[in-house]
Amino acid sequence: MKERITGSEALMRSLVNEGVEILFGYPGGAIMPTYDALYDHKTDLHHILVRHEQGAVHAAQGYARVSGKVGCAIVTSGPGAMNTVTGIADAMIDSTPMVVICGQVGAAMLGTDAFQEVDVIGVTQPITKWAFQIRNAEDVAWAVSRAFYIAKSGRPGPVVLDFAKNAQTGMVDYEPAKVDFIRSYRPVLSPSEETIRKAAEMINNSVKPLVLVGQGVELGDAREELRTFIEKADMPAGCTLLGLSALPSDHPLNMGMLGMHGNLAPNVMTNQCDLLIAVGMRFDDRVTGNLATYAKQAKIIHFDIDPSEIDKNVKTDLAVVGDCKDTLARVTALLDKQSHEAWKAGFAPYRDREEKKVIEPALHPMEGPLLMGEVVRAVSEATENKAVLVTDVGQNQMFGCRYFKFNEGRSVVTSGGCGTMGFGLPAAIGATFGAPERKVCLFVGDGGLQMTIQELGTIMEQRAPVKIILLNNNYLGNVRQWQYMFFDKRYSFTPMLNPDYEQIASAYNIPACTVTERKDLAGAIDEMLRTEGPYLLQCAVMEEDNVLPMTPPGANVDEMLLEVK
């Protein structure tokens, strides 16, 4: 016999039915009936009270990225819902599975400009995989199951459920729902045997292949398939920003990071290879540089789960559309065992040049103030390269991703496509709940930290063990670098007058210390990592340090600057 319950209680049971364990949220008027139902589910749904709704969605992103599960956020209507929009857009472009549940005024009041009414569906449809308004309690179970299925299937992404108040309070004869098929929605395609054969043939005939590794490898849990693929055909690889931990940093075929601030060798060799094999990446402009000159000498194979990415930016010679865990294995089975020693040797001069010109000075400066690169590498090594790297956006992000090293998958949490300042702190909180057994190290600048600094309150309440490494240069560093290089050193509103961050941390009962001298860095990092719970390590770094190499905007991918004048 079906039990008659409220729509709010149906939501709770539906979330539990989907395996949800963690909710990040903030209550308010239009979502209050749902929060009342949540009061009776404290044992099976752990709710994390954030300090701002943007914090809820970024925390849900961090949780999803490290756990592989769907992140879930719950907020009220109007301004509460609107405060989630940045995180929803961020999740959409970075393919992060997330369900955001927003309160809404009663269905009878829709369109009347009622108190805290906003057209959530109209706002979020362009930045979600699906946005749906629940107007009746009878639709709750179906809508929740469909939302989670869409969010996690195929190319993952965010879904929004706009939950009208009358649907929350209305009664329904509850029955769990299970949506695993939607007509006209084909989340995963399967390439033909002919396509698989052609891909293997192109790789077998290649003399200078280069593999571009994107986040799709992580999302598809295809790390082992990738390693077998590149090792069998002896193909060097470069990784995108979000794909950095898909391949161990010390793997002999890993040539480093692609993109504007990536490593010199894989960027230069992109324009020298005869076959470019993109796996789970979308040819973002920060990776390609000038499209008119990008890899014009090469044949291109594109492995991707999303057919809309094929030929969107770069024209491909062969598209292998499907789940890369499946497609990589199928192609690998047809590959010849190969050796490309001469081709791989061509990377060495560029790696040596970058090592001497950029990396060695960044990691082992002879004198002067602390540098961001040396702080990042010191923390990475102190965690035996096993920690989760979370970054905010800016120079802290680029130095973090360049100099942190990875032994394990799902270890990079950063805002890629959207470049959202303020992402780091709440995302790191979410990561501690998504991977509670791992160290979570957040690198953040003084600008980005202040954008969501209120989430220190969430850390205080939850004792979330985020290790916050504040790289404080008293500037909006990345913008300052561009002003230095391209705007005649006119530092227009990029210097920062900062507060006393140690006092702020103390107010939130978070241990903290500040390092200004190189000799004190190792001890401070050791203290941070040995301290139970959260910690703020402020490093006073060189104010006008620059992230190098750099491909200037509009330049060719192989025209990287190793120094600035």
Distances (CA, A) of 497 to 315, 474, 475, 536: 47, 7, 8, 19
What is the DSSP track for 160-206?
EEEEEHHHHHSEEEE-------BTTB-S-----HHHHHHHHHHHHT-
Secondary-structure percent of the chain, ordered helix, strand, coil, rounded to 5: 40, 20, 40
pLDDT in tens, 316-331: 999 999 999 999 999 9
pLDDT in tens, 302-314: 999 999 999 999 9
Average pLDDT, the chain: 98
pLDDT of residue 93: 98
**Dihedral of alpha carbons 18, 21, 22, 28, sign:** positive
List, as own/partner pairs, every contact residues 66-69 make where C-beta atoms lie below 8 angstroms and the sequence separation is at least 24, other chains included.
66/388, 66/410, 66/411, 66/413, 66/430, 66/431, 66/434, 66/435, 66/438, 67/410, 67/434, 67/435, 68/221, 68/410, 69/19, 69/97, 69/434
**Average pLDDT of 14-19?**
98
Give the largest CA-CA distance in the chain: 77
pLDDT in tens, 83-105: 999 999 999 999 999 999 999 99
pLDDT in tens, 441-454: 999 999 999 999 99
pLDDT in tens, 272-319: 999 999 999 999 999 999 999 999 999 999 999 999 999 999 999 999
- Is the pLDDT score of 2 beyond 90? no
pLDDT of residue 123: 98
Residues 6+ apart with CB under 8 A from 102: 31, 74, 75, 76, 77, 80, 81, 84, 120, 160, 161, 162, 163
Q: What single-letter DSSP state applies at residue 233?
A: H
Give 148's pLDDT tier (boundaries 50, 70, 90): very high
Q: Residue 488: helix, strand or coil by DSSP? A: coil
pLDDT of residue 381: 98
Q: What is the pTM of this model?
A: 0.97
pLDDT in tens, 376-395: 999 999 999 999 999 999 99
Cβ contact 246:225 at 8 Å: no
pLDDT in tens, 179-219: 999 999 999 999 999 999 999 999 999 999 999 999 999 99
Cis before 126 (ω within 30): no
pLDDT of residue 89: 98
Percent of the chain with pLDDT over 70: 100
Write phi, then psi, for 72 (nearest 5 degrees).
-140, 130
pLDDT of residue 366: 87
Cβ contact 57:98 at 8 Å: yes
- Is the pLDDT score of 1 beyond 80? no
pLDDT of residue 565: 78
- Is the pLDDT score of 501 beyond 80? yes
